[in-house]
Amino acid sequence: MPSAALNLGTAVEGSFQGAGGGMVPSARLLTANGGGAPSRREETANGGGPGSDLAALRPTKRPRGKAQLAGKPRRRAPIWNLQAAVFVSVVLNVGLLLQHHVNSTAPSHHDHDHGHRQEHQACPTHLDGGGVSRSSRGRQEVEAAASAASVPKAAGAPSTGKPPVTPDSVINLDHGDPTMFEEFWRGTGAAAEIVIPGWQTMSYFSDVGNVCWFLEPGLDHEVRRLHRLVGNAAVDDGYHVLVGTGSTQLFMAALYALSPPAAAPMSVVSAAPYYSSYPAVTDFLQSGLFRWAGDASSFTGDAYIELVCSPNNPDGAIREAVLPSGGSGVAVHDLAYYWPQYTAITRRADHDIMLFTVSKSTGHAGTRIG
């Protein structure tokens, strides 16, 4: 029997080695015929000595004060391991506190909210106290956001990123930006879209038979049609349509065209109060051909260019020239605001030189067409 127990101990891959000690064997291995674990009384009845059947299977006594693993003393963890664990724990807790602080103070963002709603929608369904599923609520929020995004933006949220327009908004009279028209054009939609074919505007010469040879014939036709429809300017019987980078460029072109070389520069005047840009634009290039001469009402010279702004900027008054035209005096009529959204159209203007601009007629200041 002792030899059988030794063979069995060897077959368990070193888990224990007979009388040599090692790990405690299973209680079933110590029992004859597969019975239960023997009691201390049974060991005593078998003699309990070195020659008994169970004596060879007893484990050796473990040394006091030392933990053993597989018969070997267990090493104690170094003190620096404990310190490192404490340090890592403190760092993680501080990081969690900082993250919570940042999340609580950071401003919300539309994209973040939208992404959060989508993630919330994908979560498993959970019913809250009211019997409404959280996923259903998240789905409703996403649908509401999508429907709101499909609504055209109003003038309160212009494409320029300016603050929304409210009843308490302050009008800055120093300068203007016609974004008030944006709501109208957004509502018009595709009916106001303009498509320019890829083959168009290939040549430097759009219309070689026109005075303004770079003006597209289609644009010339539409400009004339608009003035006929509104009735604010004569466009037939010898009138030519010239285009420029805004009416300011056309104003400067008129100054050069009407200022012949002379001993003294041509005087440029306008009745006060006049548009604040007139003096600055006139003297910007410091040309020897013309100069700003101030209020037309007090001008006494012979040669002049009178700027007549009607409706006037800044007071909106309907103006006529205060100086007689003819001879060496020429009037340039700035009719930027002579449109039905600003004033009543009482007659068809038929002056020799009339300035209009797209920024005031339709609000498209960024197109820079005058």
The mean pLDDT of the chain is 73
Task: State which amino acid sits at residue 270.
Answer: S
Above 60 in pLDDT, residue 40?
no
CA–CA separation, 253 vs 287, rounded Å?
12
Above 90 in pLDDT, residue 370?
no
Grade residue 72 by pLDDT with cuts at 50, 70 and 90: low
Above 80 in pLDDT, residue 292?
yes
Give 111-149 pLDDT, tens digit per residue.
444 444 444 444 444 434 444 444 455 566 656 555 555
DSSP state of 222: H
Q: Tokens at residue 125, please?
A: 């369904």
Residue 190, φ and ψ in degrees, nearest 5: -65, -20
Q: Tokens at residue 355, please?
A: 């300035």
CB 354, CB 333: distance < 8 Å: yes
The region, left, alpha or beta by phi > 0 then psi within -120 to 50, assigned to residue 114 is: alpha
Above 90 in pLDDT, residue 304?
yes
Q: Where are the alpha helices (DSSP H) in the chain?
A: 2-11, 40-45, 79-105, 110-122, 134-150, 182-188, 217-230, 246-257, 277-283, 358-361
Q: What pTM did the predictor assign?
A: 0.56
Q: Which of 160-164, 293-297, 326-330 has the highest mean pLDDT?
A: 293-297
The reported pLDDT for the residue numbered 330 is: 94
The region, left, alpha or beta by phi > 0 then psi within -120 to 50, assigned to residue 42 is: alpha
Q: Which range among 51-65, 170-184, 282-296 shows the weakest confidence by mean pLDDT?
A: 51-65
CA-based end-to-end distance of the chain: 118
Give 226-248 pLDDT, tens digit per residue.
999 999 999 988 899 999 998 99
Report the half-sphere exposure of 259 (CA within 13 A, side-chain side).
23
Query: If you average pLDDT over residues 157-164, what whole number do you get?
Result: 64
Above 50 in pLDDT, residue 48?
no
Task: Report the share of the chain in percent with pLDDT over 90.
Answer: 33
Torsion over CA of 28, 31, 34 and 35, rounded to 10 degrees?
Answer: -100
* Architecture category of domain 217-367 in CATH: 3-Layer(aba) Sandwich (3.40)
Strand order in the sheet with 354-355: 290-295, 266-270, 304-309, 329-334, 354-355
The reported pLDDT for the residue numbered 22 is: 44
Q: Do β-strands 72-73 and 68-69 pair in parallel, antiparallel, or remain unpaired?
A: antiparallel
Grade residue 97 by pLDDT with cuts at 50, 70 and 90: low
Grade residue 161 by pLDDT with cuts at 50, 70 and 90: low
Q: Where are the domains of the chain?
A: 2-61, 115-122+134-166+175-193, 217-367
Query: If you average pLDDT over residues 322-346, what whole number do you get?
Result: 92
The reported pLDDT for the residue numbered 315 is: 92
The reported pLDDT for the residue numbered 102 is: 56
Query: If you average pLDDT over residues 39-56, what whole number do you get?
Result: 43
* Beta strand residue intervals within 15-95, DSSP E: 68-69, 72-73
The reported pLDDT for the residue numbered 166 is: 83
The reported pLDDT for the residue numbered 10 is: 44
CA–CA separation, 309 vs 276, rounded Å?
12
State the helix-helix crossing angle for 134-150 and 110-122, rounded to 10 degrees: 140
The reported pLDDT for the residue numbered 221 is: 92
